[in-house]
Amino acid sequence: MAKQNLLGCTLSELEQLMIDLGEKKFRGGQLFKWLYRDNQYDFELMTDFSKDLRKTLDEKFEFKSLELIHMQESEDGTRKFLFNLHDNLPVETVLIPDFGSERKTVCISSQVGCAVNCSFCATGQMGFSRDLTPGEIIGQLIYLRENFGADAFSNVVMMGMGEPLANFDNVVKAIELMLAPTGMMLSRKKVTVSTSGHSPKIRKLADTGLNICLAISLHAAIQEKRVKIMPIAETFGLEKLMQAIRYYAEKSRTHVMFEYIIFDNFNDTMKDVHALAKLVRGLSCKINLLAYNPVDGLDFQRPSDDKMNWFGGQLAPRVPVVTVRKSRGRDIDAACGQLAAKQRLGKKHNV
């Protein structure tokens, strides 16, 4: 009989599992610590369990992360992992080291493909296949810890394939595993959910009390422009979106991060600077400017470095904090969804 994979199981599920095996409930807590805190996946080595219990666990269960099918490493140290899920669907994860600091950010996926269909995004072009389970979300992190050690990453951003808030329940369950004090023990300040702007779900996330960081993929501060590149803006316009963001910031007492990709000759004028400054007025926030990383087959172009610096320079005195972020992994398929899109189209990877 196939073993049951415990990847993604919560504390209460493991407690119930132990009760079902005729053990005391607290054994579930011990198992939870071994798996998520101590990164010990071999039941035989769980020394506070009896020999019989270890044998039973080994016979019936396993804790298996994801199957890696491809990895690309950039000259700048960024690594991109392509995983194969049990139903042969691809999903990707990007690990971005920050040289000169201990920070290592892992960008994880929450869905295979994405239904939001932003016109500049490789994932959007793939269409939507399905939501990831909590195990498949957390499995991206477990894979890294299993293969690169407990300090494989320091920060987690849900900014990979998919719209995390469209897979709300599974994403929240995965975040609970990341934050659990006897689990992965990540600080709420080191976990970020990035959304394209699903206003009702932003409010719902605020109401969970998880108080994690929130990033908004804004990319245009003028409604008509935003609708052109992000169809979700038709349903959740900028006004509603900003109300939800202010609600989140107040309730979770955290500042919000806005991601603003600059597309050459699209959202890079003085009018855009003014609109952006007006939009975030009075909000404790940070704006990250990022040059577009071109995707095969899409029309958008990368702006020059001068344009990036000009836009950042104009914006800086008008908003609380602005950074011009270097795009990472340009020599690999680093834009979200590029590697998985190639996998689905049967193209060769460039490594």
Q: Is 163 in the site for ligand SF4 (CB under 6 A)?
A: yes
Round to whole Å and give the CA distance between 351 and 166. Answer: 33
Match 């779900």 to its residue by tokens. 201
Q: Which residues pair with 324 in a beta bridge?
A: 289
Round to whole Å and give the CA distance between 190 and 346. Answer: 35
285 token code pair? 């926030």
- What DSSP state is assigned to residue 7? T
Which of the ranges 95-103, 144-152, 155-163, 247-255 carries the binding residues for ligand SF4, by CB under 6 A? Answer: 155-163
**Closer CB to ligand SF4, residue 33 or residue 80?**
80
Q: How far is CA 304 from CA 102, 218, 226, 313, 321, in A?
A: 30, 20, 21, 14, 22
Instruction: Name the active-site residue from 92, 136, 163, 259.
Output: 92
**Is 92 marked active-site?**
yes
How many residues touch ligand SF4 under the rule CB under 6 A: the total is 13
Amino acid identity of 111?
A: Q
Round to whole Å and give the CA distance between 143 and 84. Answer: 12
Round to whole Å and give the CA distance between 286 and 320. Answer: 7
**Closer CB to ligand SF4, residue 145 or residue 240?**
240
Which of the ranges 23-31, 77-85, 114-122, 247-255 carries the binding residues for ligand SF4, by CB under 6 A? Answer: 114-122
Helix (H) or strand (E) run with residue 245 in it: helix 238-252
Q: Which of residues 290-319 bind ligand SF4 (CB under 6 A)?
A: none
- The minimum distance between CB 118 and ligand SF4, in angstroms, equals 3
- The minimum distance between CB 170 and ligand SF4, in angstroms, equals 16
CA proximity to 156, closest of 105, 111, 96: 105
Q: Is 125 helix (H, G, I), strand (E, B) or coil?
A: helix
Binding mask 203-232 for ligand SF4 (x = CB under 6 A): --------------x---------------
- The minimum distance between CB 244 and ligand SF4, in angstroms, equals 16
Q: List alpha helices for 21-111, DSSP H.
A: 26-32, 51-60
Q: Is 336 in the site for ligand SF4 (CB under 6 A)?
A: yes
- The minimum distance between CB 351 and ligand SF4, in angstroms, equals 23
Binding mask 244-273 for ligand SF4 (x = CB under 6 A): ------------------------------
Which of the ranges 48-56, 115-123, 147-155, 248-256 carries the binding residues for ligand SF4, by CB under 6 A? Answer: 115-123
Q: Who's near 141: CB < 8 A, 6+ residues apart?
A: 106, 108, 153, 156, 178, 184
**Closer CB to ligand SF4, residue 6 or residue 114?**
114
Q: Binding ligand SF4 by CB under 6 A: which of 28, 124, 303, 329?
A: 124
CA angle in degrees (0–180, nearest 5) for 153-74-129: 70
Q: Binding ligand SF4 by CB under 6 A: which of 30, 93, 105, 117?
A: 117
Please report, as ranges, the residues that interact with ligand SF4 according to CB under 6 A.
114, 116-118, 121, 123-124, 161-163, 196, 217, 336
Annotated active-site positions, please? 92, 336
